[in-house]
Structure 1
Amino acid sequence: MTTSIIGFPRIGEHRELKFATEHYWKKRATQEELLTTAKQLRAQHWAKQKAAGIDLIPVGDFSFFDTTLDAAYLFNIVPDRYKSLGLDSLDEYFALARGYQSETASVKALPMKKWFNTNYHYIVPEFDDQTDVKLVGSKLFDEITEAKDQGIENPKAVIVGPYTLLKLSIFKGHKQASDFAASLTTAYSELLAKLNTQGINWLQLDEPALSFDQSEADIALFAKIYDKLLAAKKDVKVLLQTYFGDVRDSYQTITKLPFDGIGLDFVATKENIKLVKQDGFPADKVLFAGVVNGKNIWRNHYVTTIETLKSLNVAGDVVLSSSCSLQHVPYDASLETNLPKSVQRHLAFAYQKLDELVELDAIFQGHDQKVLAVNNELFSTIRHPENQQVKTRIDHLTPADYTRLPERSKREKIQKDVFHLPELPTTTIGSFPQTKDVRQNRSKLRKGEITRAEYDAFNQEKIKRIIKFQEDAGVDVLVHGEYERNDMVEYFGEKLDGFVFTQNGWVQSYGSRGVKPPIIWGDVSRNEPITVDTTVFANKLTDHLVKGMLTGPVTIFNWSFPREDITPEQSVTQIALAIRDEVLDLEAHDIKIIQIDELALRENLPLRKSDWYSAYLDWAVPAFRLVHSGVKPETQIHTHMCYSEFGDIIQAIDNLDADVISFEASRSDLSLIDQLVAADFQTEVGPGVYDIHSPRIPSVEELEEIIKRIIAKLPAAKVWINPDCGLKTRSEKEAFEAVTNMVEAAKKVRSSLYETN
């Protein structure tokens, strides 16, 4: 046993799971059809790993929505409001993830947050004082039986570990994480016992929460759980799997506990390498060395990896593994035939990473030096396109380029005098539903079946329609709907030099939602306007204010596959200058409100707080300021952030110096509001009042109550009313009804404010 991976993509090489799941949700397919598709995908994925020569193949990494939710569901961590719906197990599971609405019941989805420092999202488990933790599900055990029936002789069972499950959960009531440690440990012990009866050799317990800063209490909780759990393992070997960061706080603890294997990420950080070198690694444990990058798509440089492995001087067994699950990369780089050979040959998607592990193993064992020579030759051919004008422009930046004048409080007064917006102005985050005809129009252009003029004419009719809808609904600040955009990052990348694009490079973001990240290959620059024509067209259709809609430089970078030959700061600064040019063009064309979305600002925040500013925020925040610092005082700059935890970086967000910031707040029960108040947040704010990732439509009364809760804590003069994200993924019926209800609710609360005053 010398090779393994932490996890594998699950959406399907051609997004089969996405389409099967969505058909089921829309009642266009039966549950049996969905389950059949899932079973076929699992079989394909296992067969691919086996054929590649992977020794230890994970089972349990497949999910219909999210593996954290899978673990919670397996252990009966399901609030009573979902159980009372009386649904079967699969529909109850989906209700937790998406919410549920019928003629007789309406339940919101559980919160959704970013999975550590990735663009993947997880559903946040919820404990309350009545939660009865116990092993109730069979999904993991059923899939192990399935894998063995399909010829996987030595499957590795995989599940989120108990410590991480507790650390990522929310607790409603008096009980906290430590109060559930004993019952959760017992439930995991029962899981171990059942795996033992199935003849499982290895259980992988994913504990990425060990990469966060850990207090003494955290380490004590971890040790308490595993002291008892590992005593129950019998014949099953337990692999403690960490990823996304280092385990500096707990290394001494975990190496002393009787784990059979420990998985460390040697790609995301050099700290784990340092730990192994300085403190040694126990000879009685197997080191699962995460040496193949599970988050980026570039080929592994074998000579560097082999040098790292040899430098560790591990006395015991070593298994070569991915640094994290391969779910964060696409399936197969060989399908990208439209890319230049000079780019394609440097790509390694999931399939290629399997081959890399096997080849690295052969080299490490001293069996195949020819492969090493070929790999060295490949790395000698990398030629990233450079742009001297961009480099010169960056060299000439000064502190003044990062500072907007006058200060925000003065701009706020100027803008209120210019815009004359009512209290609690309403708007949306940007996109409206990408209906089937919109996608077909884009497909026809791509296939050459229609001209660019025909494509644009179709989108203009869509813009006219959505502007009229917003006017009729009473929305105060309008958007053009973004019908011309395939994706908020890919669209901008296509208009900028320095990016290349895949045909089939889909990666799961959450549930059935996939994204196709661009690849940053060269220096980034803007040679012509990107959004000006469509925004100006929409602006001429109405007397209302229309927002220009842009994606910010940090988000474009974080949601792309980045270069590895320059620093993230250098790459983001290049993108910031390109978006700055677009901002100034929009302003020159009389667009008075410009939204620059930075949804992913927190995403690449280092997991260790000590690194937050020096390694990230000290350049990420100025990059955003660089984008908008050149506009006039009366031009209002908005930004948007969603589905992450912002409370601990509130000051950094305020320092973005935007005029208005909209946040996801609905799934987190508006808890962010208290954090804004505590931090004396100065930016005007739009806390999302309803969850767009759920098909559930909130009533006017529900929204009215939410708005009242917001302005009970925040000054109404600083509050905007909006959904928590763009409406692209919803149906028009869902979007139109929800927006109409939102506007009506805002008007009612506004009227009560005027009456009070």
Structure 2
Amino acid sequence: MTSTHILGFPRIGAQRELKFAQEAFWRGEADEAYLRGVAATLRACHWQLQRQAGVAFVAVGDFAYYDQMLGMSALLGALPRRFGFDPSKLALGEYYELARGNAAQPAMEMTKWFDTNYHYLVPELAPDTTFDGGVDWFFDEVDEALALGLNVKPVLIGPVTYLRLAKSYAAGFDRLALLPKLVERYARILDALKARGVQWVQLDEPVLCLELEREWLDALTAAYEALGACGVNVLLATYFETSAEHAARVAALPIRGVHIDLARAPAQLAAWCEALPETMVLSAGVVDGRNVWRADLRAIVRSLQPVSAALGERLWIAPSCSLQHVPVSLSGERKLDGELKSWLAFATEKLEEIGTIALALDDPRAAEPALAEADAALASRRTSGAVVNALVQKRVAAVTDAMASRKRPFEQRSRLQREALKLPVLPTTTIGSFPQTPAIRHARAAYKRGELKALDYLERMRAEIELAIRRQEALDLDVLVHGEAERNDMVEYFGEQLWGYAFTENGWVQSYGSRCVKPPIIYGDVYRPEPMTVETAKYAQSLTRRPVKGMLTGPVTMLQWSFVRDDQPRAATALQLALAVRDEVVDLEKAGIRIVQIDEPAFREGLPLRESDWPAYLEWAARAFRISSAAVSDETQIHTHMCYSEFNDILPAIAAMDADVITIETSRSAMELLDGFGAFAYPNEIGPGVYDIHSPRVPSVDAIERLLERACEVIPLERLWVNPDCGLKTRDWPETEAALSNMVRAAKRLRSRVAVPA
């Protein structure tokens, strides 16, 4: 019989139960026992879903209260020393302080998990890190599952991936020096699992899909040769790209199986089938764990039949990666168009898909009804008139290279903009959003339910906009924003006003911690039928003499943070989005808005994992941004925002976007990210974030001033802006005003004692 398994399941719950329990705990409204109870209930529910779907090996240990990498650090006993916590006695409240910061320490650095919109907390290692101690939460979860009689497969981040993604702030220290101690700790973990009767353990090594240096490949060999003596069957999991060039090396390791991502890289199958010895399992990740489209089950079965004949029971069927990147279930979607819904599969439905594939390989006749149903859905999608729009296709065909260029170079534009805007040196601003208070959320919900009339809703939103403007004026910020009270999400809000998008009621996906997003679904050609933000921006600007930024989400982020159609190249969809944003930028300028911010926080996220594939992506992504922004006059200032990514390796492409001002996240890394911009001599203006908005911690004036002084060492003063790391949507007003007040005071103090260029 062909076995099935998954690499992980969404942990937040179908109704975001974990999010709400966490936030209640943070507010002091619920105790630790309550939060742990909610978590245990969710785990049991998700295990039961896997059992009901006939999954042979239930994933355990894929749960995390905040982040799986932070959970791994807690298990390994590798906590940042600066917090002073005892790794073996870590309380749940302390665990959250690592993720969110406290009064004494900023939170751990956060960045994107490979090319996804999930954020992980970067482990902080030191030369004397010992990996002793650590919490027992992982083993508690394994024991829970075993007590339910489940055939478990514990899931852990592999040692090489953990070490590769970690950081050390010790100058000149090579993290690989810690590998022997780290592997010893992993060996003890595997021994403890063996003692519990566990037969299989999944160790995730997605770094094998990167272009690794020889020393890291040698580290992989050394690590798994040592772990091979532990007596537990290890399934080494790779995903997000091909790992075929390492097939011979991995096949020689003392492990019992390997997982490969055949949704992202189907061509690697032959190499792995040729390399694997007769004792090794091949886990085929054939159902896309990153997107929501129903799989072509019959085509997958045909591709696997020769492999099944050759490998027999050594072939396992799985999704391509953890299902944490898709929503939990379609069952709660009551408003989706019926035809569109038939094209989709969320995590629960993907469990059924892998079961159908395994059944079709073992008993084709029994699987035929499910295969026929999938065929019908695919045929419906291919022939639907809702997918292709002739108007959009005609406009895309008319795009020229001239549409991707501003009239003058930046040096000339910047002089015109300084004359028009008359801003001080070190101008202060925010990234866009202000706190989404309960009153705002309740008004939006009432409007969606039809309990609040459109005019009444408009008046409430305008009152919130005026409140945001007045508070910014009182803080003496130089460039204001309207606060985005009317926006539910920076992608969903715009997608709701564009053709070609669909929206779910409960399609939530975790972005980080308790932050969940509901990615819209791009199912057809994208077009802007009418202005989306112009009236709101005009109203905000009418309230003040200070410049108010128009706030838009850029085409690459609209693409990356949506579930994107897979029937045309992503570059083609990005171009359609760029044209829609371009229309909005032009209309904002016509309405008197002189600064337009086009946010692209996902620009780096879209970068392929293989450096050899970067040029093609960077060319079309930067071009899409320029097409969206280049139609305005030179006096109109274009901003963009990027956050929580490593930018230094793509700085030429960021410069090629030709935004007048870029704002970036830098506070968690103490301006480390800014060094690359300085070394590259980034030519345009830049606003390095001076405080972390994901933490409730309010930074002092002195702390912000020190960061600004550090920034001045890297970027010329006349090209620096002062701003937080990101939007303030998730914060409350008291801490927001306190932090912004300190930010403005720090900027003024620095202005008063530095030489201002003529």
2: CA distance, partners of 1:435 / 1:332 = 29
What SS does structure 2 have at the residue aligned with 1:77? Answer: coil
Counterpart of 2:667 in structure 1 is: 666
Deviation at 1:276, TM superposition (A): 2.7
Counterpart of 1:140 in structure 2 is: 138
- Structure 1 stretch displaced more, 72-81 or 625-634: 72-81
1:363 to 360, 363, 375: 360
1: CA distance, partners of 2:602 / 2:729 = 18
Deviations 1:503-552 (A, max 9, x none): 01000000000000000111110011000011100000001010000000
Which stretches of structure 1, 4 residues or longer, exceed 6 Å deviation after superposition? none
Counterpart of 1:476 in structure 2 is: 478
Deviation at 1:83, TM superposition (A): 2.2
Counterpart of 2:293 in structure 1 is: 298
2: CA distance, partners of 1:564 / 1:144 = 37
Q: Quick one: percent identity of the two aligned structures?
A: 44
2: CA distance, partners of 1:502 / 1:540 = 35
1: CA distance, partners of 2:66 / 2:268 = 31
Letter in 1 for 2:683: Q
Letter in 1 for 2:40: K
The TM-score, its normalising length taken from structure 2, stands at 0.97
> Matches of residues 299-698 of structure 1 in structure 2 within 5 Å?
299-312=294-307, 314-315=310-311, 317-367=314-364, 368=366, 369-382=368-381, 383=384, 384-614=386-616, 616-698=617-699
1: CA distance, partners of 2:271 / 2:604 = 27
Counterpart of 1:77 in structure 2 is: 78
2: CA distance, partners of 1:741 / 1:44 = 46
- Structure 1 stretch displaced more, 383-392 or 500-509: 383-392
What SS does structure 2 have at the residue aligned with 1:545? Answer: coil
2: CA distance, partners of 1:85 / 1:443 = 44
1:256 to 248, 252, 257: 252
Q: Do residues 242 (structure 1) and 238 (structure 2) align?
A: yes
2: CA distance, partners of 1:541 / 1:47 = 55
What SS does structure 1 have at the residue aligned with 2:427? Answer: coil
CA RMSD of aligned residues (A): 1.5
Deviation at 1:84, TM superposition (A): 5.0
Deviations 1:659-702 (A, max 9, x none): 00000111122111210111111121001111000111101111
1:372–1:85 distance in 2 versus 1, CA, 3 Å: closer
Q: Do residues 200 (structure 1) and 171 (structure 2) align?
A: no
2: CA distance, partners of 1:84 / 1:705 = 27
What SS does structure 2 have at the residue aligned with 1:404? Answer: coil
Q: Check whether the contact 2:430–2:724 (CA below 8 A) recurs between aligned residues.
A: yes
Deviation at 1:89, TM superposition (A): 2.0
2: CA distance, partners of 1:629 / 1:275 = 46
Deviation at 1:47, TM superposition (A): 0.9
1: CA distance, partners of 2:193 / 2:375 = 43
What SS does structure 2 have at the residue aligned with 1:478? Answer: coil
Deviations 1:481-511 (A, max 9, x none): 0000000000000010110100010000000
1:118 to 110, 116, 119: 116
2: CA distance, partners of 1:115 / 1:200 = 28
The TM-score, its normalising length taken from structure 1, stands at 0.97
Counterpart of 1:721 in structure 2 is: 722
Letter in 2 for 1:365: D
1:701–1:531 distance in 2 versus 1, CA, 3 Å: same
Counterpart of 1:222 in structure 2 is: 220
- Structure 1 stretch displaced more, 168-177 or 283-292: 168-177
Letter in 1 for 2:556: V
Deviation at 1:374, TM superposition (A): 2.5
Deviation at 1:337, TM superposition (A): 1.5
2: CA distance, partners of 1:378 / 1:651 = 43
Q: Check whether the contact 2:425–2:756 (CA below 8 A) recurs between aligned residues.
A: no
Letter in 1 for 2:635: E
Deviation at 1:269, TM superposition (A): 1.6
1: CA distance, partners of 2:244 / 2:348 = 32
Deviations 1:291-325 (A, max 9, x none): 11111011111111112213546435111001010
Deviation at 1:150, TM superposition (A): 2.1
Q: Check whether the contact 2:475–2:744 (CA below 8 A) recurs between aligned residues.
A: yes
Letter in 2 for 1:617: L
1: CA distance, partners of 2:490 / 2:379 = 34
1:269–1:626 distance in 2 versus 1, CA, 3 Å: same
What SS does structure 1 have at the residue aligned with 2:47? Answer: helix
Q: Check whether the contact 1:135–1:188 (CA below 8 A) recurs between aligned residues.
A: no
2: CA distance, partners of 1:129 / 1:339 = 54
- Structure 1 stretch displaced more, 563-572 or 375-384: 375-384
Deviation at 1:402, TM superposition (A): 1.1
Deviation at 1:754, TM superposition (A): 4.5
1: CA distance, partners of 2:631 / 2:261 = 42
What SS does structure 2 have at the residue aligned with 1:291? Answer: strand
1: CA distance, partners of 2:741 / 2:310 = 63
